[in-house]
Structure 1
Amino acid sequence: MSKEQHKIDTEDLIKQTAKQLFFGEGKFKATTQEIADAAGVNRTSINYYFRSRDNLFDIVLEEAINKVNDKHYTILISDLPFRTKLEMWLDDELASAIKYPFLEVYIVTQMQSKCKHIRRNKNDVQLAQQALEKELAEEIKQGRMKPISTTQFMINIASLVSFPSCMRPLLMDSFDLDNERFTQIIKERKQVILDLIFK
């Protein structure tokens, strides 16, 4: 293995470990030492590659959000049927909710201070919205969905997907759920959401 490849592998290992601790286990205040121990590297490696624990946190948060945004855009502008697009979008969102159950919580609570600089290509957003609006109008015209504005539709979808993750601790306590049962409920959300949307 070349020195450059070793560097890339080590950086990636640290980032993936940090992401799991922060957003998979909800350990937002995990220390540099805790991250290093979980990754099986020296603490100095984190400072060497990322300068600080806070900088590492910002990097993995930005990468996580941008990866989701990029995938959503790719799905929305594809030539696939509307329902297929929605199913793919739900698969991706719900898989992320299972793998990183605390990511949504952090984004919501830190939107102003941490997420305002996340890149968003306005042209991509506009193209995706235009595609969605056109296809949504066709679904309504064909009688497969009840009339609804594009904005309300997106708010509904975001709410149906994100609410369980954002409210995870309260829901688990209220319904006396363990992690396994809660994960199963999240997996069931796709069909529940599709049944609510389509006639």
Structure 2
Amino acid sequence: MPLKNTGTEQLIKDTAKRLLFAEGKLHATTQEIADAAGVNRTGLHYYFRSRDQLVAAIFQDALQGLSQRLDECMLSGQPFKAKTERMIYVFLKELMAYPYEETFLITEINTYGKKLVANIQSAPVKTYLVEAATAMEEGLIDKTNPIHFLMNLFSLLSYPLIMAPLYKKMFKLTEKEFQQLLDERAQVIMNVLFRK
């Protein structure tokens, strides 16, 4: 069997990622993805036998990228507050570029269960939680279970983007106005989480 052209395979995955994560077309068909990638559906099926196989590959890439960004932030040598601020910046940048990625990941995890996240490493998270506990003792952040601190951080980052269509409608925000709120979000999150 001849070697597969990984350039075409990557093009298909990148196109699917754009459609799903950037444009919010979470139910895009293989035909729509093939058309957008400029390949025929037979070509797409050469690399990915089914839509489920393509979605699984995209999911794994997205989860791996998320884990890598998280690890890099959590294991940096910066002080806890600076590390957290960096994590907020990195995640907001990614979330703004791909506003539907979180929705996609949550949907896939809820649909297919724990097996999708079985390979996530928790060592960087454990290290970060120890640092959060130390920051609590130092009075930098409120005392609580450090897990609550991290869940609050992720919620403050993700929820506004997951709910963006509703918020734009509810608050009668233009795309530009909503983007301005997101630009302000990093400082708002830091003010909510940190005492000083």
> TM-score normalised to the size of structure 1?
0.86
Task: Tell me how far apart the structure 1 counterparts of residues 98 and 59 of structure 2 sit (CA, whole Å).
Answer: 11
Distance 1:180 1:7, change over 3 A: farther
Deviation at 1:46, TM superposition (A): 0.6
The letter of the residue matching 2:94 is S
8 Å CA contact retained: 1:14, 1:35: yes
1:114 corresponds to which of 112, 115, 126 = 112
Q: Note the C-alpha offset of 1:38.
A: 1.2
Q: 1:16 aligns with which of 14, 17, 22?
A: 14
Corresponding letter in the other structure for 1:130: K
For structure 1, list consecutive stretches of 5 or more residues without a partner in the other structure: none
Give the 3-state SS of the residue equivalent to 1:185 in structure 2.
helix
Separation of aligned partners in 2, 1:111 and 1:137: 29
2:147 paired residue number: 151
Residues 1:194 and 2:190 aligned together: yes
Quick check: 1:172–1:178 contact (8 Å CA) kept in 2? yes
Aligned equivalent of 1:167, options 139, 163, 166: 163
Q: Distance in 2 between matches of 1:50 and 1:159?
A: 33
Is the aligned partner of 1:178 residue 2:174? yes
How far the C-alpha of 1:83 sits from its partner, in A, is 1.6
Deviation of 1:115 (Å) = 5.1
- 8 Å contact 2:19–2:33 — kept in the other structure? yes
Letter in 2 for 1:44: T
Q: Which residue number in structure 1 is paired with residue 63 of structure 2?
A: 65
**Aligned partners of 2:126 and 2:37: how far apart in 1?**
43
Q: Which residue identity lines up with residue 51 of structure 2 in the other structure?
A: R
Q: Which residue of 1 aligns with 2:46?
A: 48
Tell me the secondary structure at the aligned position of residue 116 of structure 2.
coil
Return the offset for 1:47. 0.5
Letter in 2 for 1:144: L
Matched, 1:39 2:37: yes
TM-score by length of 2: 0.88
Question: Is there any run of 5+ residues in structure 2 with no aligned partner, and where?
Answer: none
Residues 46 and 53 in structure 1, CA contact (< 8 A), matched pair in contact too? no
Q: Identity of aligned pairs, percent?
A: 37
Aligned equivalent of 2:131, options 130, 135, 145? 135
Q: Is the 8 A contact 2:109 2:116 kept in 1?
A: no
How many residue pairs end up in the alignment? 194
Quick one: distance in 1 between partners of 2:115 and 2:95?
A: 23
Supply the RMSD in Å over aligned alpha carbons: 2.1
